[in-house]
Amino acid sequence: MSGRDPVAELTGLLRKARRPVALTGAGVSAESGVPTFRGPDGLWRRHRPEDLATPEAFARDPALVWEWYNWRRERIAPARPNPAHRWLAAYERANPGFLLITQNVDGLHRLAGSRRLVEVHGNLWVLRCTRCGREGEDRRVPLPVPPRCPECGGLLRPGVVWFGEPLPAEALTRSTEAVQEADLLLVIGTSAVVQPVASFPLLARGAVVVEINPAATPLTPSLDLSVRSAAGALFRRIPLPGPPPAGSGSPSPSHPGGTP
């Protein structure tokens, strides 16, 4: 890549892209006040994942797991989308080929208005019954511990993907296909260590891959462009592109639908 200013470079790439994809992680919500997982104040510093975010932990002590999720829901409930969430939602409206893939369970992309969105790790505000499978949003904070299904009285669990669980098949297919077909891939605010999502960028075939992260990650050496910046501060500086010029082979909405 040229020695141009990375912001100018990124602005040009975003304007040209026909099938852009963004993959976000906890860092995109950091400027909204949501703690990341692995930073100095990261959630995993104080809690061992195997004690809390696994099916085994939930089977052993659902109340303990629910206390932790209640604590996280309390932290996240007042959080509001920051300029990065809002920019990505506006980009979706301007570019019908754009797909947003997030590992975040905080719901802030949806709150900002993103709809062509794949929440690969689920959503903290969705509860799923372990007995009848009923799933629904519940924004009460705090929830009674442990919460019970209004239909069958079964134990409810958070609608998220835990360590040791597979990603929902539809979310996985949609995400990997979009990355393979992308002409631009933005990797924003993820430490790129949790599989399988950490490997998504390696599936890109023709895409220019750009990382937006104040710190280096295992992906950094293989990227086309690395913008060392906080996401919200960066997107505040990037003008929103208009829709693709007429007659330029504007794409069909290749990533329709909503969250899996």
Which residue's Cβ has the minimum distance to ligand OAD? Answer: 27
* Beta strand ranges found along the chain (DSSP E): 20-24, 99-102, 117-119, 122-129, 135-137, 156-160, 184-188, 208-212, 225-227
- How many residues are listed for the chain in this entry? 260
* Count of residues engaged in binding ligand OAD, rule: CB under 6 A: 27
Q: Beta strand 122-129 with 156-160: parallel, antiparallel or unpaired?
A: antiparallel
Choose the binding region for ligand OAD from 22-30, 56-64, 170-178, 250-258 (rule: CB under 6 A). 22-30
Q: Which of 103, 123, 175, 259 is the binder for ligand OAD (CB under 6 A)?
A: 103
Q: Does 230 bind ligand OAD (CB under 6 A)?
A: yes
Report, in Å, the least distance between residue 87 CB and ligand OAD: 12
Q: Beta strand 122-129 with 135-137: parallel, antiparallel or unpaired?
A: antiparallel
- Residues 158-187, interacting with ligand OAD (CB under 6 A): 160-161
Closer CB to ligand OAD, 45 or 60, in the complex: 45
Catalytic residue flag (residue 47)? no
Closer CB to ligand OAD, 97 or 204, in the complex: 204
Burial 76-86 (b: 16+ CB within 10 A, else e): beebebbbbbb
Both tokens of residue 3? 């020695």
Q: Which of 72, 121, 157, 255 is the binder for ligand OAD (CB under 6 A)?
A: 121
Q: Does 16 bind ligand OAD (CB under 6 A)?
A: no
Among 85, 109, 121, 255, the active-site one is 121
Report, in Å, the least distance between residue 105 CB and ligand OAD: 6
Which residues, including other chains, have CB under 8 Å from residue 121's CB and lie 6 or more apart? Answer: 102, 103, 104, 105, 160, 161, 167, 197
- Alpha-carbon distances, residue 169 vs 91, 124, 166, 202 (angstroms): 26, 19, 8, 19
DSSP structure class, residue 202: G
Closer CB to ligand OAD, 77 or 96, in the complex: 77
Angstrom distance (rounded) from CA 234 to CA 211:
12
Catalytic residues: 121
- Which parts of this chain interact with ligand OAD (CB under 6 A)? 25-28, 30-31, 36-39, 42, 53, 103, 121, 160-161, 189-191, 194, 212-215, 217, 230-231
